[in-house]
Amino acid sequence: MRIAVMSDLHDNLPAWELVLRELQREEITTLINCGDTVAPDVLAQMTNTFSGDLHTVFGNNGDRENEIEMTKNLPNLTHHGEVGGLVLEGVRIGFTHEPQPAMAMVTTGEFDLVCHGHTHLKRWEKKNSCYILNPGTAGGVFQYPSFATVDLPDMKARFIDLRF
């Protein structure tokens, strides 16, 4: 199974269209969003155009109450609040927005993969038995736009740079 991980779209809908094109090309059915989509209507647009399962957490931008209210009835979106967790293909995946809580998640031993965003810098490393992934910034804020895929359970990551 291949999943996609993105973060920090920052309302860049043209960049979302590029992500979506790659998700369809790669036949991805599960997308983890590590926050800072920003406007809740962008999350709605994402669920309207992506037919797979979308899991998201808060970023450090946006109105949290409004985000929860506006996304609670979207059919293929699960909003996990500050911190999310899934088990896919036997791999325990945790995700959040900022790196400090992510690193705390790594030290618990409860996860095989922890994903985060916020810094907009790509990261793929292993600490003890846990992989750490930052897919970069899908919205291209201060960095070239990117997201990542991870093959489960093999734990092979690949960064996809988006081309406008």
Three-class SS of 46-75: HHHHCCCEEEECCCCCCCHHHHHHHHCCCC
Judge whether 93 and 86 are in contact, CB under 8 Å: yes
For 34-58, what is the mean pLDDT? 95
Q: pLDDT at position 70, please?
A: 85
For the chain, domain boundaries? 2-161
Q: Supply the pLDDT for residue 111.
A: 98
Q: How much is the pLDDT for 120?
A: 97
Residue 65's pLDDT is what?
87
> Which of 47-56, 68-77, 117-126 is least confident?
68-77
Q: What local confidence, expressed as pLDDT, does residue 22 receive?
A: 97
How far is residue 87's CA from residue 100's CA, in Å, rounded to a whole number?
A: 22
Mean pLDDT, to the nearest integer, of 74-100?
97
pTM for this prediction? 0.96
Q: Quick one: average pLDDT of 11-16?
A: 96
Q: What CATH number labels 2-161?
A: 3.60.21.10
Does residue 122 have a pLDDT over 90? Answer: yes
Query: Is the predicted pLDDT of residue 101 greater than 90, yes or no?
Result: yes
- 51, 76 Cβ separation under 8 angstroms: yes
Tens digits of residue pLDDT in 148-162: 999 999 999 999 999
What percent of the chain is modeled with pLDDT above 70?
A: 100
